[in-house]
Amino acid sequence: MNRPIFITGIGTEIGKTVTAAIVTEALGAHYWKPVQTGYAQGADKDKVKHLLSNTQSLIHPETYSLRLPASPHVAAREEGITISLNAIENDYRKIRAKCNATGYLVIEGAGGIMVPLNGQEFMADMITRLNACVILVSRNYLGSINHSLLTAELCKQKQLTVAGWIFNDQYLAYEEEIAAWSGYTHIASIPRLPAITKAGIHAEAERIKPRLLNLLRQLND
């Protein structure tokens, strides 16, 4: 299997799940969200499954599915448990064994890369432990340029492998500036879709597929 692709973003509610669905559809990849919080409001794996058209993708269950819609370490504490990267890595090894040798696994994070998993470890530590390459998701809102560049700077400090940016919500010229300032590739721009549908996800997946595959091949060579 190729290196896993970790979808993370500059914060919450910036389009990670839709982006993960598009990337999963484009690659015919497996999908996994290791830590889900707020499951009573709907699990992201179910949303992604509903949006896929291809027949190759498998949706894997979470390692941790937590009721409280909060930071993972808080949601876990509420249920009297501690999130363990060892448990997540064990599940990853089982999932990896089910993936095609030339296939991809898309992993969706929760929030941004400094979201706490427990008292000592953060989402960035999960990325490192799983040896994943990162796709950064950014959405256009007041302050998002700063949040994007801070996220990029932290990726460099943590020595994470970053494939590049996928932008949501019509950044326009700002997209190229963020890519240039961060030093990371502009993979694609996802327009604001009038409705999130299976057909729309497939169309966006086909549009970004050639560039995405080219970048990932370079990272896996």
- Tell me: is residue 110 an annotated ligand-binding position: yes
Q: Examine the pLDDT at 29 and tell me if it is beyond 90.
A: yes
Q: Which of 33, 47, 158, 209 is catalytic?
A: 33
pLDDT band at 94; cut points 50, 70, 90: very high
CATH number at residue 182: 3.40.50.300
Give the pLDDT confidence score for residue 99 in this predicted structure: 86
Q: What residues form DSSP beta bridges with 186?
A: 165
Active site residue 33: yes
| 88 among annotated binding-site residues | no
Tokens of 74: 């808080």
Residue 157 pLDDT: 97
Does residue 108 have a known ligand-binding role?
Answer: yes
Nearest to 105 by CA among 92, 114, 116: 92
What pLDDT shows up at residue 89? 98
* Residue 102: predicted pLDDT: 74
pTM of the model as a whole: 0.96
Q: What is the mean pLDDT of the chain?
A: 94
pLDDT, tens digit (0-9, with 9 covering 90-100), for 4-24: 999 999 988 889 999 999 999
| Domain enclosing residue 196, as ranges | 5-220
Greatest Cα pair distance in the chain: 47
Mean pLDDT of 187-206: 92
Was 112 annotated as part of a binding site?
A: no
Number of domains the chain contains:
1
The pLDDT > 70 percentage for the chain reads: 100
Beta-carbon count within 10 A of 208 CB? 19
More confident residue, 165 or 142: 165
Residue 15 annotated as binding?
A: yes
